[in-house]
Amino acid sequence: MGAGYHRLDENRGGCCQLGRGEEGNFSSRAELGAACLALEEAKRKEDRKPRILLSDSSCFLSSSQKWIGEGKSPFMWGNPDTDIRHIVQLLRERIEQGLLTILIKIKAHRGDPLNELADRWADEGRQSEKIRWSLPTTRDRPIFYWTDYSTTHCSPMNPTVKKRIDFKVSRQQLKIHTGSTANFLTREDNSRDFLGKFHKDRSV
């Protein structure tokens, strides 16, 4: 997965490849990576110009906003990923220097020229040799692996993994039941007789 941004005033951009692919390639990671790259570039410029960041990710905006300024839970334990930590650090440095940073939410996949240019940079980032955020997260969350139709998948705990676990447990539980439902679900083929009994059975 790649992350990229486009800078309008200079008509250029930047990109990188995102590490930790085994933790899942979620779109929010790409948006967080793009924000990091843009803020790092602003820091390198060492000017006092305001920065306006346009993003189609509400996740990025909501995640970063609650750590800037005052809040009822001003600590990072609930969201310890290095991506958001780095963003907050860069934003706070700008605040301490009196620099203005404006975050604006735009709609995705609506043909916005700047959004499309940023997506092109992100596509280029997939092939980039520059890999960022490849270290494990501070959550130390386990990675689950499973094989489905000869294809191996890996992911941290998420709704898909939970469904796979529930499915495996259900398959094991079928062995200790003898009702019509259990008999129907363990058959290799379909059976109208068992299907009819399945709807009447309430014991399983």
Given a contact cutoff of 8 angstroms between Cβ atoms, the answer to whether 184 and 194 are in contact is: yes
CATH of domain 2-132: 3.30.420.10
Domain limits, CATH 3.30.420.10, in the chain: 2-132
Phi first, then psi: give them for residue 200, nearest 5 degrees. -90, -20
Per residue in 3-47, pLDDT tens? 888 998 888 899 888 876 655 555 677 888 888 888 988 888 877
Other Cβ atoms within 10 Å of 60 Cβ, number: 25
Q: Residue count of the chain, please give it.
A: 204
CA dihedral 32, 23, 121, 62 (to 10 degrees): -20
Closest by CA to 101, choosing from 40, 16, 185, is: 40
C-alpha to C-alpha distance for 9 and 3, rounded to whole angstroms: 20
Per residue in 50-106, pLDDT tens? 998 888 877 777 766 666 555 555 555 555 456 777 888 888 888 889 999 888 888
Token pair for 42: 């602003």
